Each structure stands twice: as C-alpha cells, then as structure tokens.
Amino acid sequence: MGNRYAYFQGCAARQSCPELNKSTLLVAKRLGWELVTLECGACTGARDLIEAQPEMAMVLNARTLALAEAQGLETVMTVCSTCTITLRQVNKMLKENTSALERSNQELSRIGLRYNATVEVRHFLWVLIADYGLDRLKEQVKRPLSDLSVAPYYGCHILRPSDVLGFDDPDNPRSLHNLITALGGSPADFSSQADCCGFHMMTIDENRAARHAGGLLVDAQQQGADVMVTACPLCHISMDSWQPKSERVMKRKIGMPVIHVAQLVGLALGFSPRELGLEQHIIRPVEIIANYSR
Amino acid sequence: MQSEILTVVVERYDPERDKAPRLVTYRVPRQEGMVVADVLLYLYEHEVPDLGFLWECRTRRCGTCAMRVNGHPVLTCSEPVREDMRISPLEGLPVVRDLIVDRQELQERLAPWAGETLDGSGKDARILLEPGEIAHYRALSECIDCFICDSVCPALAENAKGGPQFAGPRRLIRLEAQVQRRAEPLPWLMYAAQSNPSLCTRCFACTEECPRELRPAEAIGSLTKRLYDRHELDPHKTAHITSFVRSILRGAWLDEFRLLVDIYGIVGVAKFIPQALRMLRHRKLPKPHFGKTAQASDIQTILQDLDNRS
C-alpha cells in the first residue's frame, strides 16, 4: 500500500471548518503522506441527493471517483463521515451493479471520463490506523497527551450501516479509543459515543437538534472528559458551532470543547494549537491552548 | 473453554415496588445450542416464577421476544447465549415489568390507516406487482413488529421532549410497503408526510439493528424521494434538497451560506446573525459563492438530464 492518496476535503472543511483542512494537511505532511487534493471534485450531495435524486448522486460521485482513478490513485481519503458513507455507498453500487456503472460511464463519457471501479474510499482515521499503523504513529509522538481525558465521539456515518462502512464495530467501536491511547491520552468512555449528533435534522427542527447534541456533550462531560474528539465536521458543527444554541435550549452551561481527529494527532506530533487552528473553535479549548502552547 | 454454568444478570423492575430497575444475578446450567430465551424459560420454570418476559413463536417470526443483551437489541429466541450476559428490556419504550415493554402507544400510531383500502371505493386497491418488484415488496412487508428499530431510533426518543412528532422507522417502513403496492398511493403518501420523515436523523441505527435486515432507513429515504417528486415533502427539507442541487450545478460544492437563505429566506435568516458574528470572529464564516467554478460546466453536462424536478 502506497502513501499517495486522493484527498477529498468535502464542503465543510472548505467552508465552516477550515481548521479541519489545515490540520489534516499538516499531519499528512508530517507523516510523509502525499495528498493529491481533488480540487475539481464536487460535493457528494450528502443524504439529500442520494435520497431525492439517486441517479444524479450516482453520476456525480462516479465523476469524483473517476477523477481519482484517472490520476492513478487507489484511495480517496475523506475527512467527513457523511462524505465517507455517501461515496462508499455509490462506489459499492458501481462495483456490484454493472448496469449502474454503465449508466454512469455513459454520462461521464460526455466529459471524457470513465470509471473502472478500482478506487477505494476511506476515512482519514482508517488510513491512519490501517495504512500508517498506530505503532509507527506512537514513534512519532513528540508530546504525549498524558494529561488529557478525551471523549471519543464516533457518531453514525463512520459506523453504520456496517455493510457499507465496515471498519469498526458499530456496537463497540474502538478505533478512536485506540488512537487516543496511542497518542498517550486517556479515552473517556461515554454511553452516547456512537449515537447520532442530530446534524441532519438541524434545519428541520433546530431546537430538537440542539437539545439532542447538548445531551451527548453533557454525557461526555459527566464522564470527566476534558475534550471531545470527532471524526466528522458535521458532528463538529452540531456540537461546537451550535453549542451555544444547545446551552440556550437546555438552559445550562456546557462549555465542552470539541476538536477534530487531525487536531488531536497534530497536538501529539508537536504542532502548536495555533498551527492546528484550535483557537478557531466556537468553544475554545482554553486549557489545551494554554498547556500546549508552551 | 466454555463454563458449564452461565452467569446471567437480569434487569428486574416492578413499577409498584421499585423506584429504579434492580440488577439480579442468576446462575443457569448451560445446555447445547442454548439461546437467550431458553435461559429466561429456565429461570421462570426453576427459580424465578414471577419473572416478567414475553415470547411466542420461537422461530423469529413474531418479534415478541425482542430484548437487549449486553445493550444490544436482539430476538432472544435465536440469540446464542454467551458468558456474562446482561439481559434488559428494549430501550425507549416504557417498562411494564421486568423485561416486558409497553408497545401500545407505538402500536396505536398505525391505527389511522391499518386495514384501510383508502381508495374511496371500499374495494381493495392493491395492484399486481411485476416479478421484479415482488421481492422488494415482500422484504418490506416482512416486518415482524419486534419494535427493535423504534427502540434504537434517536428521533423517536426526542418526541417525548415535545415539538413535531416523528412516527418512527417501523411505521414508515410499513407505509413504504403500502405505497409500493397501491394503484393510487397518494393517501398513503399523505400518511407518510404526516409522519414527519424529515425528522429522521439518517443515523442508520434501525438498518443496522433490524433482525430481518429490512433496511428501514433506506425505506424512509425512498418515501422522502416519493414525497419530494410529488412536491409533498415539508418545505424546509424540500428547500434543503433543492439548494444542494442548485449549489452543485452552479459551483460543484455546497454553498453553505446560500443553503440557509434558501431554507429560511432573506428575512428568516436574520435570526442567525449572532451565530454568524460568532463564526466571523472565529474566522469560519462560510462565504457565499460567486460565479461558476471551473468544473461547473462538466457537472452540468453530466447531470442536467437527470434532474427529475427540472
């Protein structure tokens, strides 16, 4: 397995979570990965397009996969769980259903592209664990996170449905736990670590979504977590950007910082909180910024 | 090596006596091919005559024996025993006693349409399905009412806190099965619209846990498409989908700024000003997209004929 990856940023890392893009690029470079950013890619359409306009979603994502394949890349690396599930769902269909692949290629031929279904779609967390390996990562740790209790928040679209995702056990996920341990931190188990963050009902019923996300944060806080880590920028938006809303709806202060996986890794690799964009979070991880800026 | 005695913790609860569930440990002799329901029957027959639990067919057909084993929802009639089991009632439903939950309230959600033909003629309005459609319909209609999908649904759990009510995956998968089979599906789609499918969080917990592998989350997605195609989906969800399509065709990536304007309107979006200022201060306010990106014309070329709403 090489260390060259097609990097699919997704929309959130390009817009409302720029610190995710910044920290991913820093960590990848430090670990010696070559990332080929799919600048000419496109939004996956998330759950909206695949449900309401499935044929459009199929062709649109076939195009993204074909762009990676045309550059000789075997893996599309994602940093968003919803991008992961959507791209993997389409890729699975294209690999298993020849008629779907033919229909996609018919449309793609109009722009000189063809997809031969050779690409795999994998999340940054999976690449880190399966390709790079936690033992190698441990050797790279310059500043163990020994004073940090980290709540591992998985959410949904990196776990379920397991026949589309399949990297971790949805009933007992361990990948984030193992990563936190490898970085020298302590995973703070909490009961809602694989529950939904409520992002996808946010524009349908804001209060409901904010209350739901707030419940997860309080759960992690009650287990003594200093910070929560998430593999998905949409979960991050739910729980960081919207945390003030959760506090209003729940009529209580929460104040739980939520950071991205790449930022957690970056801290242990020795990058400063500023380099990793930690000060960009709505709920600033004040203690981490103070302790890790020295 | 397997032990000859199984240690089993059972969550016991009598609402008339207990303030909270009690965890009681029992020891049960292991038998060849034993399933969790066998453990409960052994306890009932030998040790705990007042243990509350339900079971009927023992062939995975009735759904009555659904419970949680070590937190995971299962049909106990087919779940092999393991060391150190904790048996609990399904979550998200009121506990009647011990391992028995009250399914009445969720069951009644089906009442407005169960058994109706809904075509106004009084005759059965079902249609003949093509051979290729039968397998899909049959799969959806094989729901056994175990309530596992509803018990793991986070959107359904939020109903208790007020606001619009989500009908849950169990009701929606049945509606999708009806819609597939009806010559005039509109009345059934109206029931689907009233069930607020847009409140589904798309978490796939129901699909992951369904013991019949019926994929309720995908059935909700299918109902969403049917409602969207007929302009019957709720306005916020419709605007959400339309905004995605527009953004992708115009600039390849989602325009997060425009998404909010499309959903809430120029006036409605004003309520997000405090949030926007906060994001601006933290240098993460999405900027509106101006003009087309380089890849937009390629995307328009491949997608323009596929937009079934245009």
Domain with A58 in it: what CATH number?
1.20.1050.140
Percent of residues, chain B, with pLDDT higher than 70? 87
CATH of the domain at A204: 3.40.50.11810
Do A119 and A148 lie in a common domain?
no
Do A8 and A76 lie in a common domain?
yes
Between CA A202 and CA B145 the distance in angstroms is: 29
Structure tokens that stand for B54 in this block: 């339900």
Structure tokens that stand for A144 in this block: 């163990």
Domain end point (choices A124, A151, A176): A124
| DSSP letter (8 states) at residue B66 | E
User: In chain B, positions 265-294, which contact chain A (CB-CB < 8 Å)?
Assistant: 275, 278-279, 282-287, 294
Do A110 and A241 lie in a common domain?
no
pLDDT averaged over every residue in chain B: 88
pLDDT at residue B305, rounded to an integer: 81
**Could you tell me if residue A11 is inside a domain?**
yes
What average pLDDT score do residues B99-124 get?
62
Between CA B124 and CA B67 the distance in angstroms is: 36
CA atoms within 13 A on the CB side of A147: 7
**Could you tell me if residue A135 is inside a domain?**
no
Q: What is the domain extent for residue A51?
A: 4-124
Q: In one letter, which amino acid is A249?
A: V
Q: The tokens 């070590």 sit on which residue? A: B70
**Could you tell me if residue A133 is inside a domain?**
no
Is the Cβ–Cβ distance between A30 and B285 less than 8 Å?
Answer: no
Do A185 and A106 lie in a common domain?
no
Between CA B71 and CA B133 the distance in angstroms is: 36
Helix (H) / strand (E) containing A151: strand A149-153
Helix (H) / strand (E) containing A88: helix A81-96
Query: What is the least distance, in Å, from the CA of A89 to any CA of chain B?
Result: 12
Domain end point (choices A70, A94, A124): A124
User: In chain A, positions 103-162, which contact chain B (CB-CB < 8 Å)?
Assistant: 107-108, 110-111, 156-157, 159-162
Region for A34 from its dihedrals, namely left if φ exceeds 0, alpha if ψ lies in -120 to 50, beta otherwise:
beta
CA-based radius of gyration for chain B? 25
State whether residue A49 sits within 8 Å of chain B by CB.
yes
The tens digit of pLDDT for each residue in B247-301 reads: 999 999 999 999 999 999 999 999 999 999 999 999 999 888 767 788 899 999 9
The tens digit of pLDDT for each residue in B44-98 reads: 999 999 999 999 998 998 999 999 999 999 999 999 999 999 999 999 899 999 9
Do A168 and A287 lie in a common domain?
yes
Query: Which value does ipTM take for this structure?
Result: 0.94
Q: In one letter, which amino acid is B58?
A: R
| DSSP letter (8 states) at residue B284 | -
User: Distances from the Cα of A112 to the Cαs of A70, A158, B302, in angstroms?
Assistant: 11, 32, 11
Do A41 and A167 lie in a common domain?
no
Do A180 and A262 lie in a common domain?
yes
Chain A and chain B share a number of CB contacts under 8 A equal to 175
Residue B304 pLDDT level (bands cut at 50, 70, 90): confident
**Could you tell me if residue A79 is inside a domain?**
yes
Between CA A244 and CA B278 the distance in angstroms is: 10
Percent of residues, chain A, with pLDDT higher than 90? 97
Helix (H) / strand (E) containing B300: helix B296-303
The tens digit of pLDDT for each residue in A155-186 reads: 999 999 999 999 999 999 999 999 999 999 99
CB-nearest to A111 from B240, B285, B302 is: B302
What residue ranges define each of the domains in chain B, with the CATH number in brackets?
5-101 (3.10.20.30), 107-229 (1.10.1060.10), 248-306 (no CATH)
Is the Cβ–Cβ distance between A65 and B276 less than 8 Å?
Answer: no
Do A104 and A147 lie in a common domain?
no
Domain end point (choices A79, A94, A124): A124
pLDDT at residue B180, rounded to an integer: 84
**Could you tell me if residue A175 is inside a domain?**
yes
Is the Cβ–Cβ distance between A100 and A31 less than 8 Å?
Answer: no
**Could you tell me if residue A131 is inside a domain?**
no
Q: Do A198 and B201 touch (CB under 8 A)?
A: yes
Between CA B73 and CA B62 the distance in angstroms is: 15
Do A99 and A158 lie in a common domain?
no
**Could you tell me if residue A129 is inside a domain?**
no
Residue B175 has pLDDT above 70, yes or no: yes
Do A274 and A158 lie in a common domain?
yes
Q: Do A282 and B278 touch (CB under 8 A)?
A: yes
Do A117 and A161 lie in a common domain?
no
Do A69 and A156 lie in a common domain?
no
Q: The tokens 């009701």 sit on which residue? A: B171
**Could you tell me if residue A250 is inside a domain?**
yes
Total domains in chain A come to 2
- Orientation of helix B296-303 relative to helix A98-108, angle to 10°: 130
Beta-carbon contacts of B236 under 8 Å, excluding residues fewer than 6 positions away, are A203, A204, B198, B263
Considering only CB atoms, which chain A residues are within 8 Å of B193?
Answer: none
